[in-house]
Amino acid sequence: MVWAKARSGTWTDDFDGAEKVFYSMSQAFKRYHREHGSVYAICRIRIAHPLSTGPETLSEKLRQAWTWLRCDFPALTVFEEGGRKTYLEANAANIETWVNDTFWVDDEADAARDVVADLHLRRLPCLVFVPRSFEVLFHCSHWRIDALGACTVLDRLFDILFELARTKPESLQPPRWELEHEHLSASLEDAYGCAPMPTPSTEAKAEDVRRRNFDLSYPSAGLSYQGDQSTSPGKSQCQTVALERDASEQLIRACKARGFSVTAAVHAASAASVLADSDCDNYSTVVSVNLRPLLPGGASAYACGTYVTGITHSLRRSDNFETWCRQLTSGYRGDWDPAAYMDALRSIYRVHGETLASMAASGARPPASNVTVSSLGVIDKYLRPVHGAVEVETFHLGSAIMGRQPTLYIWTFRGRLTLSVDYNEAYYSAGDGEGRKSFEKMSPVPVLCTTAAVIGTVS
């Protein structure tokens, strides 16, 4: 896809394959005035001496840093209009409008998580400062960013904040606003260099992926949920648990000694929890895959875009925990043939979108309720804890879930292993129903306990 100048000061481009799928998913609950899949990241920060400053001064510095950030990442200003991506060239007027629309201070909230629940269907990303908790919240639709991209954006933001905190803004080199459009993010398919038109081999690969995602993985065990197919979504919620550094290191070492990853062990523990409440013999779920290592250039070149995909992995009830872990570890490393997959991205996402639309229209299958797994790895590689006198004390990431499939995030930051599950309260929180009972077994604490207990007994 190619950005084209539609009129003076305005550039447009078509949604590419992955963007189109993620955009369609984000709009699936629009009738409820809610957005599915939007990504948010929360950092509690501290400004160390001698740059220590109060909330009012910090909020102004954050506003300035956010303004400068759009020069590095102009895709933060891209919006959807008429079914296309649209970008307005930078000038003093639209820069001011963009900042006013996308940055604010929430003096009423006690914590950033209180703000997240009301951020839906926004035209643009946003940055919110919560003075009571000294937290910075970044929120963005999933079609324009993914989890690690959000980390990269915040990493650069805090670099700029440090520069502004120790230097008068007027003494810094001014951004080259007139060159901003040259740095618009490439789509996943363009970044990899996929052929614009399908070929027999890419169509064959797309069909293989479709079968893996929709045929071979069905039927699958899933969580029991409250309500039926007509039940409207409620608010997205999350539950999180973080191990201390010593406990994190012990668990990571124990997994490595047995030849599998922590992600595989946690994935297996969640599978065991779901299978315990199901009569199905198999459990299938999607695992997010970061595709940046397969793209040319550094991570910062792929901050504002969706450079992930989802690979379905299936487990048999008859296998034991260790077999699951080894199977998953091997699968994560490439049983999906990464080279052929990347070549076929446009075909894969076209077929995937068509299949999802067909299934939604027919209603032939009940809503899926398996648990998506998203392992972010070591966050410190993308978001450094220390930026001069600006320190990121805590980190949290999540997404808005409007369906019945929770997302289980796994990451470490500052040496602490964290599990966090995002889910929708309408299906798993109300009263004493089966949905709540089922989810309680799959929430972070029991999953982590199961992981630690089993790892400790595997020979």
445 pLDDT more than 80 = no
Q: Into how many domains does the chain fold?
A: 2
Radius of gyration of the chain (CA): 22
Mean pLDDT (the chain) is: 91
203 and 61 housed in the same domain:
no
Taking residues 241-260, report their average pLDDT.
94
Cβ atoms of 6 and 87 closer than 8 Å: no
Cβ atoms of 418 and 411 closer than 8 Å: yes
Confidence of residue 83 (pLDDT cuts 50, 70, 90): very high
Q: pLDDT tens for residues 35-80? A: 999 999 999 999 886 666 666 788 999 999 999 999 889 999 999 9
The CATH number for 443's domain is: 3.30.559.30
The CATH number for 54's domain is: 3.30.559.10
Check whether the bond before 367 is cis (ω within 30° of 0).
no
Q: pLDDT tens for residues 116-134? A: 988 999 999 999 999 999 9
180 and 207 housed in the same domain:
no
**DSSP secondary structure string, 93-159?**
HHHHHHHHHHEEE-SS-SSTHHHHTT--S-SS-EEEEETTTTEEEEEE-TTT--HHHHHHHHHHHHH
292 and 246 housed in the same domain:
yes
Last residue of a domain, one of 164, 189, 214: 189
177 and 208 housed in the same domain:
no
Task: Note the pLDDT of residue 149.
Answer: 97
Q: pLDDT tens for residues 271-321? A: 999 999 899 999 999 999 999 999 998 667 799 999 999 999 999 999 999
396 and 359 housed in the same domain:
yes
Residues 6+ apart with CB under 8 A from 357: 24
CA distance 417 to 249: 8
Q: Does residue 331 sit in helix, strand or coil?
A: helix
73: number of Cβ within 10 Å: 23
Task: Note the pLDDT of residue 2.
Answer: 80
Last residue of a domain, one of 189, 205, 232: 189
150 and 57 housed in the same domain:
yes
335 pLDDT more than 90 = no
Strands 390-399 and 39-47: antiparallel
Residues 6+ apart with CB under 8 A from 407: 371, 372, 373, 374, 398, 399, 401, 421, 422, 423
State which residues form the domain around 127: 4-189
DSSP 191: H
Q: pLDDT tens for residues 151-208? A: 999 999 999 999 887 776 665 666 676 667 778 899 999 999 999 999 999 999 999 9
Share of the chain above pLDDT 90, in %: 77
429 and 326 housed in the same domain:
yes
68 and 214 housed in the same domain:
no
Q: pLDDT tens for residues 60-71? A: 999 999 999 998
DSSP 405: -
237 and 257 housed in the same domain:
yes
Last residue of a domain, one of 189, 222, 250: 189
298 and 177 housed in the same domain:
no
Instruction: Write the CA distances from 109 to 8, 103, 106, 135, 156, integer angstroms.
Output: 41, 15, 6, 10, 25
97 and 70 housed in the same domain:
yes
10 and 135 housed in the same domain:
yes
Task: Note the pLDDT of residue 183.
Answer: 83
Taking residues 224-242, report their average pLDDT.
93
Taking residues 121-149, report their average pLDDT.
97
